[in-house]
A and B are shown apart, each in its own frame.
Chain A
């Protein structure tokens, strides 16, 4: 007698969740139309000048889908991870930061406008739809913008590191003999970095003598002097000897005037002299061949 029959509508979704599903469905169905409108607006403002057609197509699809997926799942962590992956691909590197952020804002407006269009006859429903859409869109798009910005900053940091390494090359000119020509100002970061490079090179090349040429160092104050002395000490701890060359008359004057004690350092006038001294220490003799 009382057999309970479960009807299809036995479990009713809350109206908001239903509306959210409706929005997701709407955005997915109209994906091509909306995506193209987005691209058109960005092209009009010149944001996409640095990208090829294929890049524009594939990147816009990926971002569009990511936003709608997040609207559906509410999984911001996944959106963040996905945004990082997109950013790492570096396709958008030709765009300026402003263009990237503005482009994402255009997408937000495209979604928003279309919501407005669809629900304009139903004030209440429109308000609810915007209530659902706006916070989600804002959050996802700021996550995306941050991901691209962080990637940008990482590239700059990597480049700075590359420049720093380039500017202090450690060169092996003979068995057991290295030279390190330093060009430019030495601050503590650079001093540390070049000392590390030098010590590693001594170990790798089994060098006994290092000639450090400071012709290209414009300023030697007491801080720089202490960095140089530390470098020489570290070389000594590893069983090597550091010879400094290229102390210009100007620097010599400053050093003496400031009362900086560089007597701990082994110095020779110029690079040629330094290499000769190193040869002597290592037991090499350079002879002309006729």
Chain B
């Protein structure tokens, strides 16, 4: 398993260390979806600060991770997108609309906390 996934309380933190192939990304998605159920996590943080490229496949995979996590009762926050990467994604029209993002781990955890405090509609 290329991406280490740590558990902290009821959070799962996946820390991407190096460029991931399409297969690695798919494996990450499967692993996270499984662990959300197994560890009964309420939040998932995916840390992407080491990525200098986020292409359309990666974007789709991140989106589907968030959707699957949501279906199993957890919110997802992508943290640490680099300025150049953010800019490229926007220029290429890759949308992370509907997915939470934050600057770093602290902000990400803060955001998850706020999301959980919101009254369920």
Q: Taking the complex as formed, is B26 at the interface, i.e. its CB lies under 8 A from any CB of chain A?
A: no
Residues of B close to A237: CB separation below 8 A:
81, 86, 89-90, 96, 101
**Please, how many angstroms separate the alpha-carbon atoms of A233 and B86 in the complex?**
9
Secondary structure of the A side of the interface? helix
Stretch binding the partner chain, chosen from B15-23, B36-44, B65-73, B102-110? B102-110
Stretch binding the partner chain, chosen from A8-16, A142-150, A199-207? A199-207
Interface residue tally for chain B (C-beta within 8 Å): 19
Residues of B close to A183: CB separation below 8 A:
none
Residue of A nearest to B96 (CB): A237
Residues of B close to A233: CB separation below 8 A:
90, 95
Q: Taking the complex as formed, is A239 at the interface, i.e. its CB lies under 8 A from any CB of chain B?
A: yes
Contacts A196-B83, A230-B91, A238-B103 supplied; 16 other A-B pairs, CB < 8 Å: A199-B84, A202-B83, A203-B103, A206-B103, A206-B107, A230-B90, A234-B87, A236-B101, A237-B81, A237-B86, A237-B101, A238-B81, A238-B83, A238-B86, A239-B101, A239-B102
A196 and B87 contact, CB distance less than 8 A: yes
Residue of A nearest to B77 (CB): A239
Which A residues lie at the B interface, using CB under 8 A?
A: 192, 195-196, 199-200, 202-203, 206, 208, 230, 233-240
Residues of A close to B86: CB separation below 8 A:
199, 234-235, 237-238
**Please, how many angstroms separate the alpha-carbon atoms of A206 and B86 in the complex?**
15
Residue of A nearest to B95 (CB): A233
**Please, how many angstroms separate the alpha-carbon atoms of A228 and B24 in the complex?**
35
Question: B79 touches which one: A230, A234, A239 (CB < 8 A)?
Answer: A239
